Structure 1
């Protein structure tokens, strides 16, 4: 069994993030202890350091030496080997690592080896420290740290991540704050401001010391310092200099405390990742297997028999914004969790496949709308929220989740809606939701004849005709020729001629109500069906 004071490889990878290190071999089911990190020296013998991480500096992944190093490292008892591929094939190296029983990791080629060394060392220190303290520091510990900094330096303090999200803030009485600070605390995000804010962050990112910043309009002066592990920026610390009286000693104290904060941020990131993953696993299990409620509900702190509704939140983004949306979804999960905890105490809230799900003790639409508005304001991205039906206990939670998902899908299908914050319940969008559900059914039924819809659109595309839009306008107008002609700005006889020709070409009968219904559905749902 792994000593709780010894860092685990999984914890280290969680702390560093997948962009820094990614596994090339499958991680073992058992814990993998990590004792330290070493840099490989080509001309020196490999020291036998058990459970260490070995950085294969200067060794190409396709070189014969790389495979030899895999075997030597495994024999010497190393926990894992880290390589950079630079686009070279790694298949043979992965096979060698699997045969030797050593974990093989790939490092980001853009990260310098000395930077990676510093990052791993910081992650090891933070995870070891939190293990000795009985667990990783919680968010509350960051708040305690912010209070300690505020008392030491002499001004109200906030700790932020690299994306200007406020992780913690001080609450010492008597320390002045300004409106920007109040708004930031409200949304846990630095509010949008003119370019002078951006300039302050640019300056802070370029220097390795505490910086002084003058008051912005409506604000107070500040001291700021970047928090780093190696050369990676983990965040920043900002102290309000209300009377402009913080001296050089305060600057020095803030610079010195940045190293302590970096360890806390690394450890907190590890803890948060673990909590998120665990909560998502529990909620996913509850959705998939209602019979697991007896085991899962106590771990989520929920009463399995109380009425509950599922709220689903998502960031609306196009493909070009996929990376931004993924990051925003994580921040959205934190905001939803914070607001739900403030209203209900312990709760079920998790990010699953890009959607944030929250279990609410009642179908509280106003709360869902308020969370969505605050999230949109804080994250500056479009946010959609769907509220499922209220069910009598967690055993029926899957149906409420299905409702919430259907509402989200319906909101997404609303083309051209300018509202950046859309919220609805299943009862409010029942008609559109029904069409969305029908679209899924039609898309899945490949055996159904597809000529009523795809064939019409394909003919229009090939021949430059307008049969699809004409038929749809006619059916949308309840078979009113005059209304359809007005909608399309053409003569009624033109509508009659197009409809007659369409019946001849495609072989349907508009006098048949069933055919009219299916034809309308296929044309109406064409975008959702992929044609």
Structure 2
């Protein structure tokens, strides 16, 4: 069994109700042999190849077949495994040719609904939407909570406060305040500081962590008591969890008088009632973040939607902005065959996204593979934010980052050009590191690498002509097929600006040996280093060859 995310709620929702709460087009019902009024207990990611899984925990679930191809034996086996587990529905990725007929037949025979997800929506999005819909479809144990609009955490805090007879704070797993109840009495110093700062003071978080309080809180479904002392009033806390995932916690503090005798029981009920609201809050936040990131990409790409994208991310047309592009690589290599980041690279990108947001208000970020795009207001911005990002990256061991800063964009229409310049700076930094054989993070601005950036653009333009590069191409291909070293000899000579002795020393050969190789390169391939045009073509050709063969 893979990582599982399950609601753990009693069956109260139906597949029809869940699908009604999701925008059309995201999920399509291919076949539903028992109809869509089948009960649904929740949603989970499930390794459909794990035959040792406890089927009872998957009964009535919507299973997401992550990694299963939409057509072929894998899809059919996924349907059969879901049926054996007693699931209500299985979701697979929508293929270009539609659902596999054999999989549809297996679903029909097994009495399990088969759904497909739109290829433009990721599994994480679909999981969040389904969890939210399941949560909203399940009635609460508190009648007062059922009247709240989904995600109304302030209303939830006030409702729970009435039940427990105290002050309520709802926090996320990082001890940041999501909502708090009205204050009928003067709060104690800790509650006041928490509300004013919108998070529990860091020293208090460290104190609770070191005492083992958080370990106890996150490890139980029950209420945990924090006794009163000479500083603060008594507190009760309970985690709000969705299966094995903790979504947050509810804290009750004595508010001018002792908590109600049944406050602990009320908190247990409140934690269950709070689940759909925290799921909705989390999903809404994830959706908002996704839309914001898409808007950043649209803004940096230009085009018809750029104006709307600027409004979405709050970019003002009368204010200059800077663009930083960061690439992350896992040490000791500086390049990877895959655009998908490794776990270490993903971790450093997470850290840098948080650091970038902390640089100054109005900074927004977006991801693309191993790249992080940072859009930040210019003017009174930090003196060198890219350098700060590189310094932060050093706190994540085993990774290397290259940060490129584009020219200041005076208006939104100039942002795509600034992004392109920043990307070229990153390429220059990466090529420098590769040529030097080092794995060290670095940053630079477009003004720092003017010549190298111009060369990158030139090589981009002439690269399609490389197979027609005549003498140099013939020499490189001969070396590749026969293992000879003419290209290395020519490259060393050019790198030493025609100093044969220095070039030979770099190759660890006698100068006469190098002279012989250069003479043979001219005789065999026509590479004439005595001619300025020949030297220019040789230099460009060897750079293009290095691009092609690494």
The normalised TM-score by structure 2 is: 0.58
- Who is 1:435 aligned against? 455
- Who is 1:47 aligned against? none
Q: Does 1:426 align with 2:446?
A: yes
Distance 2:150 2:477 in 1: 62
Distance 2:450 2:419 in 1: 15
Q: Does 1:276 align with 2:294?
A: no
SS in 1 for 2:541: helix
Distance 1:117 1:475 in 2: 57
Matches within 5 A, 1:150-229: 159-160=172-173, 166=174, 168=176, 228-229=241-242
Matches within 5 A, 1:90-489: 91-92=100-101, 104-105=115-116, 124-125=134-135, 136=151, 159-160=172-173, 166=174, 168=176, 228-231=241-244, 233-234=245-246, 263=276, 266-289=279-302, 292-317=305-330, 318=336, 322-324=341-343, 327-328=346-347, 331-332=350-351, 334-336=353-355, 338-340=357-359, 343-345=360-362, 347-362=363-378, 364=381, 365-374=383-392, 376-377=394-395, 381-413=399-431, 414-415=433-434, 416-420=437-441, 422-445=442-465, 448-449=468-469, 452-453=472-473, 455-489=474-508
Q: 1:486 to 1:330 in 2, by over 3 A?
A: closer
Q: CA deviation at 1:366?
A: 1.6
Q: 1:398 to 1:119 in 2, by over 3 A?
A: closer
Task: Report the RMSD for the aligned CA atoms in angstroms.
Answer: 5.9
Q: CA deviation at 1:304?
A: 1.0
Q: CA deviation at 1:307?
A: 2.1
Q: Which runs of 5+ in 1 are unaligned?
A: 14-22, 27-33, 41-52, 70-79, 107-115, 161-165, 177-183, 213-222, 240-248
Greater Rg, structure 1 or structure 2?
A: 2
Q: Which runs of 5+ in 2 are unaligned?
A: 1-16, 31-35, 43-59, 65-73, 107-112, 118-125, 181-186, 192-198, 226-235, 252-261, 331-335
For the 8 Å contact 2:292–2:313, the answer to whether it is kept is yes
SS in 1 for 2:367: strand
| CA shift digits 1:109-153 (9 cap, x unpaired) | xxxxxxx99995665216999998667579xx8xx99xx9xx999
Q: CA deviation at 1:362?
A: 1.6
The normalised TM-score by structure 1 is: 0.60
Q: 1:298 to 1:486 in 2, by over 3 A?
A: same
- Who is 1:82 aligned against? 90
Q: 1:339 to 1:119 in 2, by over 3 A?
A: closer
Q: CA deviation at 1:406?
A: 1.2
Q: CA deviation at 1:450?
A: 6.2
| CA shift digits 1:262-307 (9 cap, x unpaired) | 6565334322331222123323333333565544333322221322
- Who is 1:180 aligned against? none
Distance 1:134 1:264 in 2: 9
Q: 1:94 to 1:260 in 2, by over 3 A?
A: same
- Who is 2:9 aligned against? none
- Who is 1:48 aligned against? none
How many equivalent pairs are there?
426
- Who is 2:539 aligned against? 520
For the 8 Å contact 2:345–2:399, the answer to whether it is kept is no
